[in-house]
Structure 1
Amino acid sequence: MVDFEWYRSFISIYKHNSVSEAARTRMMTQPAMSQHLAALEAEVGESLFTRAHRKMIPTERGKTLYTQVVPLIEALEEATQSLKTNALASLPVLRIGSAYEFFRENIAPHIDRYQMRIIAYLGVASKLLEWLLEEKVDIIIMSQKLAAPGIEYIPYMQEEFAVVAPPDYVEPSFSDKESFEAWLCSQPWISYDLDLPIIRRFWREHFQKRPQTHPTHVVPDLHSVLKAIEHGAGISLIPTFMLNDHLFRNKVKIMYPSYTVHNDLYMAYQMKNRNSPQLKTWIETQKKTV
């Protein structure tokens, strides 16, 4: 029985006059492409190409087969693509809003498990809530419970922020908190905001005051902060969910692991949509992954 893939390989060789180029185009190895052609020629009972130096020249039988097969293969591929498109269109749609870093690290890697079409909107908390109120999104994930009519918040998870530094950063010992705080204030801090939002939280929790320091560098997002740390630009507070690969590759290190700060994250949606099947399915799936 002729394999459909043999015909696809034959057509590719015919178009490119080359086994190696056809293999590259179809993302196959050259031996696998040659096996497809040999199997088809054995089935047909004739050579389909004349092998010249670095060129495959179709025989008369090859030319005839090409004109017969191409319309059929193209029609079959169009029908297959149409089936895929129809199946995709039948999937329920869920529009999710979250912070960029959270979506990239915690949602995007698992997007195939949801059995629905995910459309992501990424931004800061105030923007996420605005999108939810305008019904541009179905559900948002955020670390603030901002008051808004008709919005329901449910607890989701905690994110932990740790002090992160380049791997060769010196980590002194201190006998008292005052000395530790003074040392922290003297370090080059990198922040994603001039107001030092998470750094202020860290200082309030561990030193019961505002930080007496200013950021050396301010960059637009936490991935940029982490990249700057990797290259020795300073230290910062980074969510631990972003660090696994970087720690494994010894690109950064966590300093003073007992000094962390936590954010409570919530899922929020319009109360009128709380019984939406795709919303309920997604929430239950997320709870199982925490």
Structure 2
Amino acid sequence: MKDLDLVATFLEIYRRGSLTGAAKALGLSQPAVSGQLVRLEEQVGGVLFTRSRRGTQPTPLAHELARRVGPHLDGLRHALTDDDADSALRGTVRLGAAAEFATARLLPALTSLTHHGLELVFTLDQAEPLLALLAEDRLDLVVSSIRPPLSMRRLAAMPYVDEEFVLVGSPTAARSIDTGHLGEDPVSALAHLPLVAYAEELPIIRRYWRSEFGRRPPNQVAVIVPDLRAVLTAVVADAGISVLPRYLAEPALHSGALEQLHRSPVPPLNTLYLVTRSGPLAPPVHHLRTRLIDRATTWGAL
């Protein structure tokens, strides 16, 4: 790509979720940012963003371009600053994430950085309180299951990775399902099986039933436990069925301890976002975010 300014503008739009936010960060007018985006779309041969009530939404082409060029442009910017390489590996970074994702993905990706003097301080919670802490300058980076609302204007978010969700149960539960009935009326075919839920409102399960079956689950709830790893344990023990991220359920699916009870032509996904405060990042935070972006390219959909 000949014009790096176009790529830099694209990344600002991608990470901030709006042309207005990108224009403010770059010190440009919104028409100038729009014009640069049009030029880049002509170069790449496709649409990079669509407009919606939630802001500027990246297309699949934008996701792919950001994953290809983001770490390289960030590295180039960092190389041109006065900070030496060691300063990026010293200090403290305060991270927020769901406990399950931090355990399965973030800690394996980041703990080697502590060998160079970086201190990692994790806060494990749901997305809304973590984003509030980030906005209050009590965290440096959050992996969030929701995009920050427009009211949190001081936060910059970029789509990070997609979680795939699977409906799972024990082999005993799977044998109790009439497969013919499941194809015709899945809600009714599954209604006899109790649920193991992450929260009383059934957020993950309810979203799956609504997106896949068009209805709320009528099932009895057997267990509520606010940790998806504990949900997994309860489902393996045949306490009921549940909906889990594939990255958590995959080992049990491979071993035969769990079975996938329903398959969709288009797997249900939820996008996770990397969220920081707007503006230049401290070297340790910048280095850590670059590491996370780089590692995510090997994960695919989770």
Q: Tell me the TM-score range normalised by the shorter chain.
A: 0.5 to 0.7
> CA 1:168/1:187 → structure 2, altered by over 3 Å: closer, same or farther?
closer
Q: Which amino acid aligns with 1:153?
A: A
User: Where does residue 81 of structure 1 map in the other structure?
Assistant: none
Match of 1:149 among 144, 149, 153: 153
Q: Cα gap change, 1:178/1:234 in structure 2, threshold over 3 Å: closer, same or farther? A: same
Q: Equivalents in 2 of 1:205, 1:104: separation in Å? A: 28
Partner residue of 1:160?
164
| Structure 1 unaligned regions, length at least 5 | 1-86
Give the conservation status (yes or no) of the 8 Å contact 1:174–1:180.
Answer: no
- Partner residue of 1:132? 134
Q: What's the secondary structure of 1:183's corresponding residue?
A: helix
Q: Secondary structure at the match of 1:223?
A: helix
- Which residue identity does 2:109 align to in structure 1? H
RMSD across aligned C-alpha pairs, in angstroms? 2.3
Structure 1 residue 251 and structure 2 residue 260: aligned? no
1:136-285 residue pairs with structure 2 within 5 A?
A: 136-147=138-149, 148-169=152-173, 170=175, 171-174=177-180, 177-258=183-264, 260-272=267-279, 274-285=280-291
Counterpart CA distance in 2 for 1:248 and 1:173 is 21
Residue 96 of structure 1 corresponds to 95
- 1:167 counterpart letter in structure 2: P
Q: Which residue of 2 aligns with 1:288?
A: 294
TM-score w.r.t. length of structure 2: 0.61
For residues 116-174 of structure 1, the C-alpha deviation after alignment (integer angstroms, 9 at most, x for no partner) is 32111110112101211221210001111232130111100110110111134315312
Question: Residues 246 and 207 (structure 1 numbering): CA distance in 2 closer, same or farther, change over 3 Å?
Answer: closer
In the alignment, does 2:124 pair up with 1:122? yes
Gaps of 5+ in 2: 1-85, 297-302
How far the C-alpha of 1:218 sits from its partner, in A, is 1.2
Pairs aligned (count): 202
Matched residue of 2:263: which SS? strand
Equivalent position amino acid for 1:213 in 2 = N
Please tell me whether Structure 1 or Structure 2 has the larger radius of gyration of its CA atoms: 1
SS of 2:96's equivalent?
A: strand
Tell me, yes or no, if the aligned pair for 1:201 and 1:261 is still in contact at 8 Å.
no
Q: With CA pairs under 8 Å and 6+ residues apart, which has the higher RCO, 1 or 2?
A: 2
Q: Which amino acid aligns with 2:258?
A: V
Contact 1:125 1:144 in 2 (8 A): yes
> How far off is 1:100 after superposition?
0.7
Q: Which residue of 2 aligns with 1:109?
A: 108
- Length-normalised TM-score, structure 1: 0.63
